Amino acid sequence: MDREVTGFTDGFVEVDGGQLAVAVRPAEPGAPVVLAVHGITASSRSFVALARALPELRFVAPDLRGRARSNRLPPPYGLQQHAADLRRVLDSIGADRVTLMGHSMGGFVATLLAAVEPERVGSVVLVDGGMPLVAPPGLDVTDASRMLGPVFARLARVFPSHEAYRDFWRAAPAFARPGDWTEDVETYVDYDLEPVDGGFRASANPESVTADQGQQYGAPFHLEALGALQQPVTLLRAPRGLQDDPPGLYAPERVSVFAELVPQLDVVEVPDVNHYTVLMTSPGVETVAAVVRAATKES
C-alpha cells in the first residue's frame, strides 16, 4: 500500500545484520513522537487506524526482526534482540523523548526498551500485552504451534491470491462480528503477504516467532525490566482473546497482581473488543487513541 492509503512512508534503519524496515507517519514539526511496536506475527500496519485517529502525533512503527519487510534479518531473535534493534530506531528518530506503545508481544519489547532508556522514553502504553502470561496447564510455552494455533499455522501455508488470504482472516473468529472487517484490517492483511512459488505466504519468519513465544511467560529478564520501569505505564485490557474468546490474554483476577510488578500501573478495561479489534476497529481504536494522546502529554 502506498502512502496515500496508509499515511505511512517506509524506510530502513541499520541494525545488526542488515536493515530494519520502519514506517513513519509524518506530522507537524515538533509533534510528539509515538514509537509503536507490533505483536508476534504482525507488522507496522497494525497501527494504521490508530495513527489516523491521532493526526497530531508522529508515528514511528518498525517491522520487527523476522517480520514483514524485516523478515530477512538473521538471528539472534528474541525479545532482547528486538529491544536492541529499537534502540537503533531511537537513535534515528531525531527526538529527545518518545511515548512508547506496544501491542501484544510488542508490549514486552516496549517494557524492555523503556527500562534501559528512561531518559528517552516517556510514558509507556501496553495494549493487551507486556505483562507476564500464564500458560494453560500441560502446554510447553515454547511450542508456538500449540500456543498460537491457527495464527502460527498460517505461516506454513501458501495462499493462491491476496483474496484467498483475506478470506482466511475474514473467517477468523476475531473478525467475525459485524463491522470488525474494515479497509484498515484489509490493508494490514495485504501487507502481510510476500510472493512465493505457487502464490503468497505470510511474511513472518516461523523461527523468529518461536524464539519470541516462550519469553512472554515470566522470563527473569522481563520481570527485572518491569521492576526497573520509572515511567507512567498504562495497560489496556481486551476482554476477549485471539479467537474472540473470554477472558482474553489477561483474566481480570490476574490484573491485580500486576500492580506488585509495576506499582505505577494504570489499567484501562476496553469493553467489547478482542485482542485484534482493541487496536484495529471501533470502539477499540478510540479508546486506545485517548490513552495514547494523554500519555504524550505526560512524556
Domains, the chain, with CATH or none = 3-134+205-298 (3.40.50.1820)
What rounded mean pLDDT belongs to the chain?
95
The Cα–Cα gap between 274 and 277 comes to 5
Q: Is the dihedral of CA 296, 215, 62, 121 positive or negative?
A: positive
**Exposed/middle/buried for residue 54 (C-beta within 10 Å: 0-12, 13-18, 19+):** buried
**Is 4's pLDDT higher than 50?**
no
Whole-model pTM: value is 0.96
pLDDT tens column, 225-282:
999 999 999 999 999 999 999 999 999 999 989 999 999 999 999 999 999 999 999 9
pLDDT tens column, 108-151:
999 999 999 999 999 999 999 999 999 888 888 888 888 888 99
Question: Residue 54, SS3?
Answer: coil
pLDDT of residue 122: 97
Residue listed under C-alpha cell 508481544: 105
CB 217 within 8 A of CB 135: yes
Element holding 30 (H helix, E strand): none
**Is 3's pLDDT higher than 50?**
no
HSE value, Cβ hemisphere, 13 Å, CA-based, for 98: 25
For Cα atoms 190, 194, 199, give the angle at the middle one, nearest 5 degrees: 95
For Cα atoms 177, 183, 185, give the angle at the middle one, nearest 5 degrees: 60
Residue 36 β-bridge partners: 101
CB 6 within 8 A of CB 48: yes
Q: Which of 276, 106, 281, 68 is nearest to 192 (CA)?
A: 68
Rounded-to-10 torsion of CA 92, 96, 54, 47: 40
